[in-house]
Each structure stands twice: as structure tokens, then as C-alpha cells.
Structure 1
């Protein structure tokens, strides 16, 4: 979700001039006593990923899958099998098979935005219990990132984690995917890094000039009043943060050796791989940055595939290309984390606007839906575990709120993301602040998913 004008004003107001000059400001890193370093890495798949082709049942349910999906169904013989469970990944995600076998990959089935526990009957009779504006890209992106399913979202869960955390000089809340809602807090703002190049000072060029001198003078203002003093401090801090980040991004690193295509040896060049390579570099530098907690936002776009999602053989096409880039990037990231000794301290997880209709359309694509499947990766997970329930493949059946396969989620975002937030170090006291609807999903038979060993 790109920042709206209202979010932009909040972002600037919270960060002051430092946010304007390079989108840098003071932020936070969660600090739970005695549990060592940890990082969470959220990968948002913008447009609505077709999770029903990302994770496919391989037991007797495959016949129902193939029959209901129609033109977009994947051939069972082409799937990437997952050892020990009746599920497989899209053929393009073969690089993740080895990570599953290591025990560092998990599946979360049919998760989505929910305001309250729902059945199909309640969905049909109680509009007041449904998330607002279902199937809308912007609203569902806001629901995922802000975790308010029926009211306005003006800040995000990652930003709210940062609000309740200690604040190192260089922010530990870091976005490689732009200034998205997820990373806006009530008081905290993120360090926003580009996926290529380095950070610069807006309006500042190398060499001496009157403009440069004026900026330098203002950045070191003294005795000009409280507003000028505070702003000068923020500018100076932002420049220092840029210097620290640029040093890390420009230095040689073992991380880069892992971001290659294992089949060709060529460097990975997709934007999501570049983002994750930079995340790995910032994790590698955690000690010098003084970070015992880090939170990252990464994104990949292009998933709104209403047409040409699949080609004639269904294992190729737009969706296969996207998932192939994602799988190579995730596998490279995992291998880089192992190389720097952080694989068991980092949890990576996917999010997306919504799932797609189970029934394919006449253009070999899919349309907006609701529940979706997700991936979670990290060596601290319960090995080779599937969480949640795969819905009935019957169109119009008990799990379908339409006749096209718009599945009612059975796992709430809070149950999914809440498990990761707890592992990350968010206390039970702070959880209602981080997840405003927490009380609906922590009690009365609902609880965070048991993702971790």
C-alpha cells in the first residue's frame, strides 16, 4: 500500500525535517530481555497473490482442485513436492524444496482479514462483522498492514512494535519496500532504504556552494530557538544515519555471493532479490548498529493477474515468473543468513492483499477473493509443519462465500502475525497496542498459531 497524502503528512509530522531529507528518522527496535537477537522480515506481495497455486494439495483433494480451478490448475506432475505432507509448491518455487527439507519453511493455509470469527451463515447475515470493502486492493492492503478490519488504518503493526521499543541511533525498523503503512508508528518512523544505490541528501551536491553552506549551517543551528534546534538535530541525525547505512550498503559482503541463480551462477537482479540482499547486509551489521531487534518490510508487485496468469501448459506465465523470482530471492536470503550465523534468529513471512478466486476466468487469470495461503521461513520454526486448514474445493460450498471460490479465511491475521510478533519479543501487555483487535483472537478457543519450535 503506497502512502496516502494523509499518511504522508503523519510521516513528516512524526519525523520532522529528517523524514523530508532522505526519509530517515529515529525509530525503535524491540528488546526482550535475555532472548538474544531476532529479526522479522515481512514480504508483501502486492496485487493479491494466487496462494491456491502457490500451495496445492496432492492427496485425494487434488481432483477437486483441478476440477474447480479449471484453466489455471497446475499439472500435478509438475509440482514441487514437500516431504511428509500432502501439499506441494508451484513448479517455479522448486528452490524452496531444500529449505522445507531442512525444516526451515512452513505453510499457513487460508489466512486473511477478519474482524471477528465468522461462519458462512454469519457472513451472510451480519454485515457488521465483515471487514469493510472486501476485495478492494487499497483497503485490504491497509487491513493487512494496519490490522484494523473495520476502521481507518493510520499506522501499521511494524510501526507500533517500534513505538514500544528502545531507540538506537540508526533505526532498526527498516523498509526496502518504500514508505508503506506497515512501518508507520504513532511515534516511530522507519529508515527507508532504496533497493539499489545509496542514500543522498536532497538538495545537497558534492562540492562547495551557497546552498550546501546554508544546509550545513541549519543542520548545526544553535541558539535559533527550540524549533530550529530540534530540526537541526534531526537533520544531523538523518545525515549520520545515511552515512551509516551507505557504509553498510557499499562494503564488500559475503552476503552477495549467495544472491546468484544456482543453475547459471548469474547474479539475481529482480527487485525483490535486491531488497532481500540489502536486508541480509543490515542483519550482518546488527552488531555495529547496536540492534538486538530488527524489523524489515520488503515488497514485490505484479500479482493482480486477471489475465495471462498461466500459459497453455499452466506451469509458465506471469504468476510463474513472479513466484520464480520470489523463490530464488528467498532461497538466497536463507543461505546468506546461514552464512552469517543468523538463520535461527530471523523469521520471514509473506503477506498479500487477498487470495484469488479458485475458479479461473476465461482469460486464464483469476479475480479478487479473500482467504489465502502464505509462506513462513526461518530455522526457529517447527520443522515441515502446515498450519491452518485447506478449504473445501467445492465452489459455492461451506467455505465459499460466492460461487467462484472466494474462501472465508479460517486463520486471522492476528493469529498468524501475532505468533511472529510474540516470537520477536512483543509482550502480552503490548500486544493489544500492536494488534488493536487482539482480544478477538487471543482467547475463547482462538490463539496465535504454534509456528515455532
Structure 2
């Protein structure tokens, strides 16, 4: 067979069964560590939860001290309330700790984790080229200087890239199309996985995160030509021939690349197939605690409940939970996971839309942490949120909010120094010290971040096991900021 024929046969095998085969192609090129003993210090995993569209952090976590009056005054009809409504779109605010802070009512499922010091908040974080004040922004915003301000502020696609890149500018940067999760995985030899398709976050210089499907997916059925356990002679002969072609020596880089991709896909299917296939309805005993957590009912509205497994994010985290529970089979002592949910671009009808989104987020995270706690893995796993940007403090005329900059993020896990708040919550004043607006018509409450994505990521990666040289390589602008450890993670 000539090279073109071989490549055509390989492409046909990998293209079998349509979309499922695309996953297998990704399997072969992913950053998947070989089975190995857990790293020194025990197993650890980071779970990045990307909230596409720009979550409204100002209605996610609300100060209930003297600042609440300012919050109510500007937010108007979007302000969360201490009084109840049957749909629980505005109230009652879920009071935390001593009552100085409150959660959106649809995040009620997360309150127990804050009360037990396993949920922390990082305020006013976002992409920064360097520490930036309002005066700096006024002087720099017309310069288009990448050394001063991040590129394309307030743009969804650009800010999503910067959050996942971990730099304030990608044009002309050595970072380019890689993400801070992918770069970190390569530096500390961690395994990187995505249950949300391809992402910038998991891209490294030599490979991408391993893209995996949702619950119930039969990976072994996606490569019809590979059937090592088949008892039917014709099928076994085809399968053996495919394996033989992969093993054949060749000096041609096209042949060797295709063989590497196929071999990696075969190995991943063999190791992960049973883990990914399991669902609550299959009642696999090894995942009983995970099934129970993800099928438990949580309150949404006063007369309605939902389970984590009924949501897309819940099913993604269900897969993550099984992978973590089966970490000895998955291999490696350090894992990085990426999951996502969309819909956070709430320009209109925000009260209704945001309530539904936060139900999904809160219930999914609560179920995930419940499963980790039951398995005694909660101190080994940290989940954290990312999002394009915050949203304007001042509502728009459509009952929504518009694109902003700095935002609040959640950090959840037994290793978090929770029950606490980190960073600097913005001054809730239009045209105040944190507002990018220079002219009065620009006073919308688009907060200039006081903490950078670099600092946020570095604090998480240090806990995962990255050293100072690793952090400097992953976040080349980290040295511009006063501290690389924000304190929200334990040792």
C-alpha cells in the first residue's frame, strides 16, 4: 500500500461513526499521562469551570453591610432582595457567615460549603497587562499599547482567550494559541482533560487536553475496525491488521504521526472506556456515591427541584468525578479538567435567565463536592470558575446588563481557605475609583480589576505542585504584580 492509500485507510478508520471519531482523533493527540504512582504529596486535581458569556458577579455574591444601600440604589429592579419571591429570582438573598455577604438565592446549595470553610470568593479579578488604576486607564486607553492594557477589552471572544491564555495580549506573544492549563500540564507532567470540547485553556505547545464525551458514551464502539476482543474471525483479522500497520517501522513522519494518534486513541479507549460509559441508571457499584450525589434533588423555585445530572454542567462534572474516583486507572498524580456552561450574556431579561443559570451552576458544583467529600477526596480537588468578564453595575434599558471587566470568581474545595473573601471588592460608585468611565456618559460600573488572572492562576497552580520557575514560564507577566500567592489555597 502506498502512503496515500495508508493515510486514506487511517482517515477512514478514525472518521468512523461521524462525530464520535473526531473525539478519538482528539484522544490520540491529548496530554494523557501514562499510569504511574501518585505524585509526592498525594493526588491533586484542578477543575476549571468556564462560564461563557460573562457571568454577573455582582448578583452572584452581594455585600450586605453598609454597601448594600449603594448596590440597591444603582441596580434598581435587578437588585437582589432580602424578601422572598416564589420563583427565587431576586430573593431571599442567602446570608453567609456573620451576614456580611449573601449569595444569589439560586446558589443556596453552595451555602454549606462556605459555612464549612470550603468555598472562597476572589473579587475584581480579570486580565491585566500590569497593575492599573483609573488614572492609568484614562491615560492609556487610546494608545493601543499591549504593555499597558489587555487587547480588545469588553469583547467576548478576545476576553475568553485572555482568561484562558493567562496573558493580557496574544498577538506577537510566545504564548500564542496555548492556554495556562495546557502549559502547566506540560511543565509539571499533569494529565489534562476536557469534557467541553476543544478550548484554549487546555492547549499546550506539544498537545491539547484529551477531549472526552459525556456519560453513556461507548468509546469502544467508535472504532469499528479495532476489536481486539471480538470472537468473529474476519473482525479480528481486520483489527489485527490495523494494529500491525501501527506497529510497522517507518521513517515517514506522516505514517509515524498517524500511528501515534491511533495508538494513543486505542490506549485511551481501553483505559477510560468503562469509566465514561457508566451512568446512574447502570448502577456501577464503584460509582454509587457519585450517582447518589448527582441524582439528589435540590431546590430551585419554592415549588420546584432539580438534580445535578439533569443539567449539562452536572453531567460534565459527573464524568470528572468518575475520572477522579478512578484515578489509579486514569493514571498520574496530577489532573487538570475543563468543563463549561454558556448563556451568561444577559443583556435582557436577566432576572429570569441568570436565576436559571445559577441554579445549574450551584447544584452541579454542590453535587460534585458532595461526591468528593463522600469519597474523602475533597481536600485533593479544587474547582474554580472563569468567565469572559463581569457585567455593568448599572442595568441597561432591557432589564439586563452589558459587558464589563473585573469580576468575582468562586473557588471550591477542601483545600481552599474558604469562608472568606480575597482580592478587593470594587467601590460601588459609578464614576468612582474602580470605574473605567472617564466621561459622565460612560459611568456604567465597568470595574478595573485589582487582581490579575496571572495571580489567580498562579495561586491555584502552586497548590497543584508548580514551582516558581514553572509559574514564571506559565505566566510570563506574573513578576509585574506584587504577589503571586493570593492566599486562598492551603499548602
Query: What's the TM-score, normalizing by structure 1?
Result: 0.87
> Do the aligned partners of 1:28 and 1:166 also contact (CA within 8 Å) in 2?
no
Measured after TM superposition, the shift of residue 231 of structure 1 is 2.6
Aligned equivalent of 1:132: 151
- Please show how residues 47-446 of structure 1 align to structure 2 within 5 Å: 47-77=53-83, 78-84=92-98, 86-127=100-141, 128=145, 129-152=148-171, 153-166=176-189, 172-198=191-217, 199=219, 204=224, 216=242, 219-227=245-253, 228-251=255-278, 252=284, 253-254=287-288, 255-260=290-295, 261-263=297-299, 268-310=309-351, 317-402=352-437, 403-441=443-481, 445-446=482-483
Could you say which structure has the larger radius of gyration? 2
Task: Report the 3-state secondary structure (helix = DSSP H, G, I; strand = E; otherwise coil) of the residue aligned with 1:239.
Answer: helix
2:485 to 443, 448, 451: 448
- Residues 389-422 of structure 1, C-alpha deviation per residue, up to 9 Å, x if partnerless? 2111111111111201101111111111110010
Contact 2:59 2:80 in 1 (8 A): yes
**Distance 1:197-1:32 versus aligned 2 partners, 3 A rule:** closer
Partners of 1:377 and 1:95 lie apart in 2 by 12
Matched residue SS, 1:359: coil
Measured at CA, do residues 209 and 36 of structure 1 come closer, stay the same or move farther in structure 2, by a change above 3 Å? closer
Establish whether residue 44 from structure 1 lines up as the match of residue 84 from structure 2: no
Structure 2 Cα separation of the partners of residues 214 and 433 of structure 1: 43
Are the equivalent residues in 2 in contact too, given 1:28–1:163 (CA < 8 A)?
Answer: no
Are the structure 2 counterparts of residues 200 and 370 from structure 1 closer, same or farther at C-alpha, using a change threshold of 3 Å? farther
Conserved in 2, the CA contact under 8 Å of 1:108 and 1:388?
yes
* Structure 2: runs of 5 or more not aligned: 1-13, 16-20, 84-91, 279-283, 300-304, 438-442
Change beyond 3 A, Cα 1:85–1:185: farther
Conserved in 1, the CA contact under 8 Å of 2:93 and 2:102?
A: yes
> SS of the counterpart of 1:183?
coil
Q: Give deviations 1:142-164, integer Å, cap 9, x for gaps.
A: 00000121233310001101112
Distance of aligned partners of 1:221 and 1:325 in 2 relative to their CA distance in 1, 3 Å threshold: same
Return the alpha-carbon distance in structure 2 between the equivalents of residues 382 and 232 of structure 1.
46
Segments of 4+ moved more than 4 angstroms: 16-20, 28-33, 200-203, 205-215, 263-267
Change (3 A) 1:259 1:404: same
Greater mean deviation of Cα atoms: 72-81 or 296-305: 72-81
Cα contact 2:213–2:276 (8 A) shared by 1: no
Secondary structure of 1:354's match?
A: coil
Structure 1: tracts of 5 or more residues without a match: 1-15, 311-316
Q: Match of 1:185, SS?
A: coil
Could you tell me how far 1:46 is from its partner in structure 2? 0.2
Residue 219 of structure 1: how far off its partner (Å):
4.9
Q: Aligned with 1:364: secondary structure? A: coil
* Deviation string, structure 1 residues 406-443 (Cα, Å, up to 9, x no partner): 011111111111100100011101112111212112xx
Measured in 1, the distance between the counterparts of 2:94 and 2:167 equals 35
CA-CA distance at 1:233 after TM superposition: 3.5
The aligned residue for residue 7 of structure 1 is none
Q: CA deviation at 1:286?
A: 0.7
TM-score scaled to structure 2, two decimals?
A: 0.81
Structure 2: distance between partners of 1:147 and 1:421 = 12
The total of aligned residue pairs comes to: 425
Matched residue, 1:9: none
- 1:23 maps to which residue? 26
Checking the alignment, whether the CA contact within 8 Å between 1:23 and 1:192 is kept in structure 2 is: yes
Stretch moving more, 250-259 or 357-366? 250-259
CA distance in 1, matches of 2:133, 2:82: 31
SS across alignment from 1:173: strand
Instruction: Decide whether aligned partners of structure 1 residues 405 and 19 sit closer, same or farther in structure 2, where only a CA change above 3 A counts.
Output: same
